[in-house]
């Protein structure tokens, strides 16, 4: 799998730009903090997905509960 495919969400960033971002994160946060930051990011993404799933389920349930109007 190409590196550009993996980082497609970053737009037109190339290898040097990504390297500088990673280097900045390492210097700014330190190697010991990165796993903690990644766990927090993962939890946040999981909570967001759960919330969107709940909203979708509620909408689908309300659509099922609505009965068609008959004359």
| For the chain, domain boundaries | 1-30, 31-64
Nearest 5°: the CA angle 8, 19, 27 is: 125
**DSSP code at position 7:** T
Q: What is the pLDDT along the chain (71 residues), one digit of tens a residue?
A: 555 566 566 667 778 888 888 888 888 888 888 888 889 989 999 999 999 999 999 988 888 876 666 65
Two tokens, residue 16: 């040097």
Q: Are 10 and 18 in contact (CB under 8 A)?
A: yes
* pTM for the predicted model, two decimal places: 0.52
């Amino acid at each position: 799998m190409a590196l550009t495919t993996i980082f497609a969400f970053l737009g037109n960033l190339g290898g040097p730009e990504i390297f500088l971002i990673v280097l900045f994160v390492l210097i700014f946060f330190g190697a010991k903090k990165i796993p903690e930051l990644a766990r927090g990011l993962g939890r946040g993404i999981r909570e967001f997905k759960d919330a969107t799933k709940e909203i979708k389920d509620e909408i689908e349930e309300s659509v099922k509960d609505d009965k068609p109007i008959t004359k």
